[in-house]
């Protein structure tokens, strides 16, 4: 391809891009009279806060018709709220995209007990006659802590008690945030799985939490519980169009 042809293609591309940008602006953008308000400052949870853009540069509030405005991303990240932008649909999602799931074993996690072990052993990932890729096996009792940074509304936990377990097992949710104080000792939600259950789906509300802990133990403190957390478990922001079912794996 000669230089002249390259220049023609570059010119055509520039014209198309410019036309598209102009068409978009004509339909969706409207000019306003606004001012940078350099006199306003921000206090976030008791501390002076300087909003910044994605490159770390300080942002100044924009004053328009009696109100001060900041980019939504700066506020969402300061408040530890997940934010996503879909350029194709021109949608800004605050609090995460509905229906989007993050598997629990893909999350930052801490396992707080020698009896709780992640395993991909084929002998241990066969649970209730169904094959899984990975499980967290808890053979006496244990804690698992997830760092979620207020990005999710739900923890959808798939759990089972396998043979030779003979006792019901409690799966209790706690607030494990460093700032939780005495509240960290309070059970937020507790659900139970019995050996007679198939794989059981447990749904917890984790909205607004930075860290959560799942404590797994038999209510009668029996040391041999043989519990499993499965890799089909996930965090999400809810999906109003979906049914919370495990199909063939859910307890009938």
Q: pLDDT of 159-193, one tens digit each?
A: 999 987 778 999 999 999 988 888 888 999 999 99
Who has greater pLDDT, 11 or 152?
152
What is the value of pTM for the model shown?
A: 0.68
Residue 20 has pLDDT above 60, yes or no: no
Assess whether 124 and 241 both reside in one domain. yes
Q: Which pLDDT value is given to residue 246?
A: 45
Residue 28, domain member (yes or no): no
Assess whether 73 and 109 both reside in one domain. no
Q: How confident is the model at residue 107 (pLDDT cuts 50, 70, 90)?
A: very high
Residue 15, domain member (yes or no): no
Q: Tens digits of per-residue pLDDT, 23-49?
A: 555 567 888 898 989 999 989 888 898
Question: SS3 for 140-207, per residue?
Answer: CCEEEEEECCCCCCEEEEEEEECCCCCCCEEEEEEECCCCCHHHHHCEEEEEEECCCCCCEEEEEECC
Residue 197, domain member (yes or no): yes
Residue 11, domain member (yes or no): no
Number of folded domains that form the chain: 2
Q: How confident is the model at residue 22 (pLDDT cuts 50, 70, 90)?
A: low
Assess whether 137 and 62 both reside in one domain. no
Residue 52, domain member (yes or no): yes
Residue 154, domain member (yes or no): yes
Q: Which pLDDT value is given to residue 71?
A: 84
Assess whether 205 and 236 both reside in one domain. yes
Who has greater pLDDT, 136 or 7?
136
Assess whether 60 and 169 both reside in one domain. no
194: CB partners within 8 A, 6+ apart: 161, 168, 169
Domain assignment of residue 115, given as a range:
101-249
Assess whether 48 and 112 both reside in one domain. no
Assess whether 134 and 207 both reside in one domain. yes
Assess whether 128 and 206 both reside in one domain. yes
Residue 198, domain member (yes or no): yes
Q: Which pLDDT value is given to residue 70?
A: 86
Assess whether 108 and 227 both reside in one domain. yes
Q: Which pLDDT value is given to residue 88?
A: 84
Assess whether 162 and 194 both reside in one domain. yes
Q: Tens digits of per-residue pLDDT, 184-233?
A: 889 999 999 999 999 999 999 998 898 999 999 988 776 678 899 999 99
Residue 75, domain member (yes or no): yes
Who has greater pLDDT, 87 or 20?
87
Q: Which pLDDT value is given to residue 81?
A: 76
CATH number at residue 196: 2.60.120.1060
Assess whether 49 and 123 both reside in one domain. no
Assess whether 229 and 181 both reside in one domain. yes
Which string of b and e fits 143-165 if b means at least 16 CB within 10 Å?
A: bbbbebebbbbbbbbbbbbbeeb
């Amino acid at each position: 391809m000669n230089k002249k042809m390259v220049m023609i293609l570059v010119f055509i591309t520039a014209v198309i891009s410019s036309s598209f940008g102009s068409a978009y602006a004509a339909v969706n953008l409207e000019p306003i009279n606004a001012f940078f308000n350099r006199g306003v400052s921000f206090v976030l949870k008791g501390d002076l806060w300087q909003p910044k853009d994605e490159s770390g540069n300080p942002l100044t509030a924009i004053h328009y018709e009696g109100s001060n405005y900041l980019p939504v991303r700066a506020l969402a990240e300061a408040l530890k709220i997940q934010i996503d932008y879909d350029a194709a649909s021109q949608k800004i999602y605050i609090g995460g995209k509905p229906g989007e799931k993050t598997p629990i074993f893909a999350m930052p996690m801490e396992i707080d007990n020698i009896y709780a072990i992640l395993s991909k052993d084929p002998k241990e990932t066969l649970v209730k006659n169904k094959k899984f890729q990975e499980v967290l096996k808890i053979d006496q009792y244990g804690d698992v802590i997830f760092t979620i940074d207020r990005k999710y509304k739900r923890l959808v936990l798939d759990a089972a008690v396998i043979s030779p377990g003979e006792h019901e097992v409690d799966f209790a949710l706690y607030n494990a945030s460093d700032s939780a104080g005495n509240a960290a000792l309070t059970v937020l939600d507790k659900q139970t799985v019995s050996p007679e259950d198939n794989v059981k789906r447990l749904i917890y509300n984790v909205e607004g939490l930075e860290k959560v802990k799942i404590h797994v133990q038999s209510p009668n403190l029996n040391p041999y519980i043989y519990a499993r957390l499965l890799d089909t478990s996930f965090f999400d922001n809810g999906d109003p169009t979906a049914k919370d079912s495990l199909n063939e794996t859910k307890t009938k």
